[in-house]
Amino acid sequence: MSPVFQVQNLNKAFGGLAVTQDVSITMNPGDRVALIGPNGAGKTTFVNLVTGHLDPDSGKVLLGGNDVTSLGPTPRVRQGLVRSFQVTRLFPDMTPEEHLALAVMQRTGRTGAIFGHYQAKADVMAEVAELLRTLGLDHIATRKVAEIAYGQQRLLEIALALALKPKVLLLDEPAAGVPQSDTPRIEAALAGLPSDLAVLMIEHDMDLVFRFARRVIVLAAGAIIFDGSPQDVTRDARVREAYLGSYANDRSAA
Amino acid sequence: MPDASGPLLDQSMQTVLSVGIDALAYGMVLFVISIGLSVTMGLMRVVNLAHGAFAMIGGYIASYATQTLGFGYGVAILAAVVGTIIIAIPVERFLYRRIYGAPELTQVLMTIGITFCVIGIANYVFGPTLKTIPLPETLRGPVDLGFRSIAAHKLFAIACGVAVAGALWYLIERTSFGVKLRASVDNAAMAASLGVRTRIVYAVSFAVAVGLAAFGGIVGAELLPIEPYYALRYMVTFLVVVSVGGAGSIPGALLACLLLGAIDTTGRYLLPEYGEFFFYLAVIAIVCVFPRGLLGRRS
Amino acid sequence: MAAIETTSAAKPEAAARPNWLKRDLLGLAVILAVAAIGYFLFPNNLALLTRILGVALLVLSIDLVTGFCGVATLGHAALFGAGAYASGIAAVHFGITDPLLMVVVGAIGGAVAGIVSGAVILRGHGLAQLVLSIAVVHLFHEAANKASVYTGGSDGLSGISPDPIFGIFAFDLWGRTAYGFAVALVVIAFIVLRLITRSPFGMLCRGIKEDPIRIRAMGASVQGTLLKMYVISGAVAGTGGALNAISTQVVGLDSLSFTLSAEALVMLVLGGTGSLYGALIGTVSFMWFEDFVSAANPFHWLTIVGALLIAVVLFAPRGLYGTALTLADRFRGNGK
């Protein structure tokens, strides 16, 4: 199987401070990888480098074998690298149905059409209905997003990413801010992600990481200090030091 | 030089000099009026289109104080600055505070509304005619600088600009109020949590801004004549200065004023038939290249 | 509540999908009825009504970029004036005097101006965007003033004499033909814009207004979409300009002014942004009121407009139409 997503020797420094150091990751279709790390480890910078919001100082990003390092964020999305946001970014005045229809039409190149209505497009409506059903959002399909619960907004965030039929999905803390009672719904949605999709999840909640990921990458001070199975990660000395060290700092700062 | 090209060279030198002096005077007047706008826009992030209205109010009060009440020039300036601030306080309290943090469109509409009201009221009270503020004896007529003579009021305007720039620099860099102001411009929430009473900083800055606008309106009355549509006519100019210089930056505003003053004055001398075409072309070019202004901070 | 949307009107409630069609046909009927009432109530003032309809097209076009896309502009008269001058110059200098052709030329002129000003204005955000829009309209104004050979400069471009429409309906002294022509243009524009705002492209624009970062993350180009909307908006504004040139038979520099830009924006906000109905209601009420008050004293008019603006910002931020919708909803007791 050829890798669908490769990050090769990525480096980035702000001023003299190296925030990403020689980071390399290879992912195959169907991978479930969790990227973890203490606060300030450079996870956000990594996401921005990968999605094209920041230019790396050196290194490459490849999607399905194509070098996309010089491309901006939008063309990377079109090539199948889709992200979700840590804090939901949805359109408060639109309905879930409209969100998904817009995403489906965008993927199939039909958002340039200045006439016609999405509800008249049978294939769009069928796909939207399927997504709504999969994520259990069909009963609120025509409510404004501003009026639905936060957990449902997080599910819509995932549905929206799926509507773009990504090859690689970057999930930025998909369960952040969701009340405890709603996390099983999010986990179920994550478990139901297409099996050929490569998923890179950035997450703080270790329970979720252990249930979801088959591989864990630990980032500390901008560099990868661990890349292996979830079973081994807690036993790794460097990981313990990185985490417990920062935990102690957090406590003293608080 | 008893050269054949002497008189010609001399004449072009004279032109350059008079364009330069006019540009400098115009730029300094722009600076005095718009620096307050720049600081308040950097601080409160309000797109304030009514700033010129306060300059106009200052001009009207000074004109009334000299012409009708017979006060001297200095007293009139003082009365106008204080009077404008007194008028501005309730406006800030009841109208501006409602639009801090609102979308730009809302701010634009509110401040255009205030401008329209001020124009209508000014016309009702003072009539549609041009108002003059008679200069004191010392500022009338030319001043001989040895190599040439220059209208005294232009020199006065330049001196005022330099004085305001210096005073503001001292206020902001050397006083404790300046420290609070800079902290609030950088990060209002952080400043507030460090114990800076941002409301007071806002109110004082607004008052200083309005007072400077009034002062600039009087000092610049020879160049930007006082009449009811003043507030609308120069509204755009002041906004352009802030945008080109970068909101909240005093050196930026100074640079923008000198640059725009030079472009505008040169254009009027050399290509008067093009009006303000090149002025706005330059504005577009500068703002496109520096969307945050020449010396604006990155957010 | 910053969000002002007509789309709640267009949004299908779960039960009845073709609801919006009924509402739009009703809206169209109301527009035609108001137009007819205007004709019979003010037979001596048809010139004013025609001018209102011309400006209504400008306000609709501002609504496209400001209300539907969230671009703040104080320079939209550049597009209106470009249309007016394009059709006027076509008539005076190139002998294109067929009114329909003049409208087409005006729409093209407006669309071209839309590309130019959109390309400039969309480079900035916030204050920079506003200043760029102001600079653009001043630039157009000064350029038209300088090119007096074609535009007549500050004297205005006169001598526009359009042929009869379809060779049958001549433009009469009372302005009846012009009024009918104007109503037809506004109705056509309204229908077309209704379709556009509900189209996939219209949805994309609404998305950009609400969250451009999300739109980029969906793989869509924000700048390209906005520029396209600017072209459409320019065509609408240009049609309004052409209508003005045809009905008044002169084009003045004031059609390219900052003042007209600002006034038109005020009309839009008065009626309610993000709604085609709001744009129409705002234009009609503002201009009718202006005619009424400024006949007495133009400076009182300014004071009143200023006070009105402040009042709208403070008490009815959704405009007349938006506020009426809210009140109607509350009255019916069906907030949701």
- For the cut 70, the answer to whether the pLDDT of residue C11 exceeds it is no
Token pair 């400098």 is found at: B24
Is C42 in CB contact (< 8 Å) with chain B? no
Q: Find the CB nearest C206 among A91, A103, A141.
A: A91
Instruction: Decide if B239 and C312 are in contact by the 8 Å CB cutoff.
Output: no
Instruction: Decide if C203 and A110 are in contact by the 8 Å CB cutoff.
Output: no
Question: Which residues 130-189 of A have a C-beta within 8 angstroms of C?
Answer: 141-142, 146-147, 160, 164
Mean pLDDT, range C56-75, rounded to an integer: 95
Question: Which residues 216-245 of C have a C-beta within 8 angstroms of B?
Answer: none
Q: What is the pLDDT of residues C221-246, one digit of tens each?
A: 999 999 999 999 999 999 999 999 99
- For the cut 60, the answer to whether the pLDDT of residue C3 exceeds it is no
- For the cut 70, the answer to whether the pLDDT of residue B284 exceeds it is yes
Mean pLDDT, range B126-140, rounded to an integer: 85
**Mean per-residue pLDDT over chain B, rounded:** 87
Residues in C touching B129 (Cβ below 8 Å) = none
Token pair of C260 as six digits:
């007209």
Distance CA C144, CA C147 (A): 5
- For the cut 80, the answer to whether the pLDDT of residue C14 exceeds it is no
- For the cut 70, the answer to whether the pLDDT of residue C333 exceeds it is no
What is the 3 state secondary structure string of chain C?
Answer: CCCCCCHHHHCCCCCCCCHHHHHHHHHHHHHHHHHHHHHHHCCCCHHHHHHHHHHHHHHHHHHHHHHCCCCCCCCCHHHHHHHHHHHHHHHHHHCCCCHHHHHHHHHHHHHHHHHHHHHHHCCCCCHHHHHHHHHHHHHHHHHHHHCHHHHCHHHCECCCCCCCECCCECCCCCCHHHHHHHHHHHHHHHHHHHHHHHCHHHHHHHHHHHCHHHHHHCCCCHHHHHHHHHHHHHHHHHHHHHHHHHHHCCECHHHHCHHHHHHHHHHHHHHCCCCHHHHHHHHHHHHHHHHHHHCCCHHHHHHHHHHHHHHHHHHCCCHHHHHHHHHHHHHHCCCC
Q: Which residue of A has its CA nearest to C198?
A: A117
Q: Find the CB nearest A142 among C12, C196, C232.
A: C12
**Mean per-residue pLDDT over chain C, rounded:** 89
Q: What is the pLDDT of residues C167-211, one digit of tens each?
A: 888 888 888 999 999 999 999 999 999 999 999 999 999 999 999
- For the cut 90, the answer to whether the pLDDT of residue C289 exceeds it is no
Q: Is C88 exposed, middle or buried (0-12, 13-18, 19+ CB in 10 A)?
A: buried
Q: Helix, strand, or coil here: A58? A: strand
Q: Which residue of A has its CA nearest to C12?
A: A142
What is the reported pLDDT for A97?
A: 95
- For the cut 70, the answer to whether the pLDDT of residue C1 exceeds it is no
Token pair 């108002």 is found at: B131
Q: How many CB pairs under 8 A join A and C?
A: 99
Instruction: Decide if C210 and A85 are in contact by the 8 Å CB cutoff.
Output: no
Residues in C touching B240 (Cβ below 8 Å) = 131, 134-135
Of all residues in chain C, the percent with pLDDT exceeding 90 is: 67
Residues in C touching A111 (Cβ below 8 Å) = 200-201, 203-204, 220, 225
- For the cut 50, the answer to whether the pLDDT of residue A252 exceeds it is no
What is the reported pLDDT for A245?
A: 64
The answer to which of B70-74, B144-148, C111-115 has the lowest mean pLDDT is B144-148
Is C316 in CB contact (< 8 Å) with chain B? no
Q: Is B239 exposed, middle or buried (0-12, 13-18, 19+ CB in 10 A)?
A: buried
Instruction: Decide if A105 and C200 are in contact by the 8 Å CB cutoff.
Output: yes
Q: What is the pLDDT of residues C107-151, one digit of tens each?
A: 999 999 999 999 999 998 888 899 999 999 999 999 999 998 999
Distance CA B290, CA B243 (A): 9
Please give the angle made by the CA atoms of C87, C89 and C93, to the nearest 5 degrees: 130
Q: State the DSSP code for B136.
A: P
Mutate: best of C142, C261, C270, C297, partner B, most B CBs <10 A: C142
Please tell me the pTM assigned to this model.
0.89
- For the cut 70, the answer to whether the pLDDT of residue C302 exceeds it is yes
Distance CA B264, CA A56 (A): 43
What is the reported pLDDT for C7?
A: 39
Distance CA A233, CA C121 (A): 52
Rg (CA), chain A: 19
Q: State the DSSP code for A7.
A: E
Instruction: Decide if A93 and C12 are in contact by the 8 Å CB cutoff.
Output: no
Mean pLDDT, range A124-143, rounded to an integer: 92
Distance CA C91, CA C105 (A): 10
Q: Which residue of A has its CA nearest to C207?
A: A91
Give residue ranges of C with CB < 8 Å to any A CB.
3, 5, 7-8, 11-14, 17, 195-196, 198-204, 206-207, 210-211, 213-214, 216-221, 225, 228, 232, 336
Distance CA C228, CA C115 (A): 8
What is the reported pLDDT for B297?
A: 64
Q: State the DSSP code for A204.
A: S
Most confident of the ranges A177-186, B1-10, C103-112: C103-112
Chain C: give the shortest CA distance to residue B195, in Å: 30
Mean pLDDT, range A144-149, rounded to an integer: 92
Residues in C touching A78 (Cβ below 8 Å) = 219
Chain C: give the shortest CA distance to residue B161, in Å: 24
- For the cut 60, the answer to whether the pLDDT of residue B114 exceeds it is yes
How many Å is the maximal CA-CA distance in chain B?
Answer: 72
Instruction: Decide if B280 and C309 are in contact by the 8 Å CB cutoff.
Output: no
The pLDDT confidence band at residue A26, using thresholds 50, 70 and 90, is very high
Closest CA to B81 of B115, B63, B53, B57: B57
Residues in B touching C289 (Cβ below 8 Å) = none
Please state whether at least 3 CB pairs lie below 8 Å between chains A and B: no
Q: What is the pLDDT of residues A89-107, one digit of tens each?
A: 999 999 999 999 999 999 9
Distance CA A205, CA B150 (A): 75
Residues in B touching C307 (Cβ below 8 Å) = 113, 117
ipTM here: 0.87
Is A92 in CB contact (< 8 Å) with chain C? yes
Q: What is the pLDDT of residues A42-85, one digit of tens each?
A: 888 899 999 998 999 999 999 998 999 999 899 999 999 999 98
Q: Which residue of B has its CA nearest to C309?
A: B113
Instruction: Decide if A106 and C232 are in contact by the 8 Å CB cutoff.
Output: no
What is the reported pLDDT for C334?
A: 55
Q: Which residue of A has its CA nearest to C228?
A: A112
Q: Which residue of A has its CA nearest to C274?
A: A93
- For the cut 70, the answer to whether the pLDDT of residue B7 exceeds it is no
Instruction: Decide if C12 and A85 are in contact by the 8 Å CB cutoff.
Output: no
Of all residues in chain A, the percent with pLDDT exceeding 70 is: 95
Distance CA C269, CA C267 (A): 6
User: Which chains does C contact via 3+ CB–CB distances below 8 A?
Assistant: A, B
Q: How many CB pairs under 8 A join B and C?
A: 136
Mean pLDDT, range B146-163, rounded to an integer: 86
The pLDDT confidence band at residue B17, using thresholds 50, 70 and 90, is confident
Residues in B touching C259 (Cβ below 8 Å) = 232
Q: What is the pLDDT of residues B227-269, one digit of tens each?
A: 888 988 888 889 999 999 988 888 899 999 999 999 999 988 8
Instruction: Decide if B120 and C309 are in contact by the 8 Å CB cutoff.
Output: no
Chain A: give the shortest CA distance to residue C247, in Å: 30
Q: What is the pLDDT of residues C43-63, one digit of tens each?
A: 888 999 999 999 999 999 999
How many CA within 13 A on the CB side of residue B154? 19
- For the cut 90, the answer to whether the pLDDT of residue B2 exceeds it is no
- For the cut 90, the answer to whether the pLDDT of residue A41 exceeds it is no
Instruction: Decide if B109 and C304 are in contact by the 8 Å CB cutoff.
Output: no
Instruction: Decide if A103 and C218 are in contact by the 8 Å CB cutoff.
Output: yes
Question: Which residues 250-269 of C have a C-beta within 8 angstroms of B?
Answer: 258-259, 262, 265-266, 269
Q: Give the relative orientation of helices B152-174 and B6-44 as an angle to the nearest 10 degrees.
A: 40
Token pair of A151 as six digits:
């957990």
Closest CA to B65 of B51, B87, B84: B84
Is A123 in CB contact (< 8 Å) with chain C? no
- For the cut 80, the answer to whether the pLDDT of residue A109 exceeds it is yes
Residue type, A160: L
Instruction: Decide if A113 and C199 are in contact by the 8 Å CB cutoff.
Output: yes
What are chain A's domains? Answer: 5-89+166-253 (3.40.50.300)
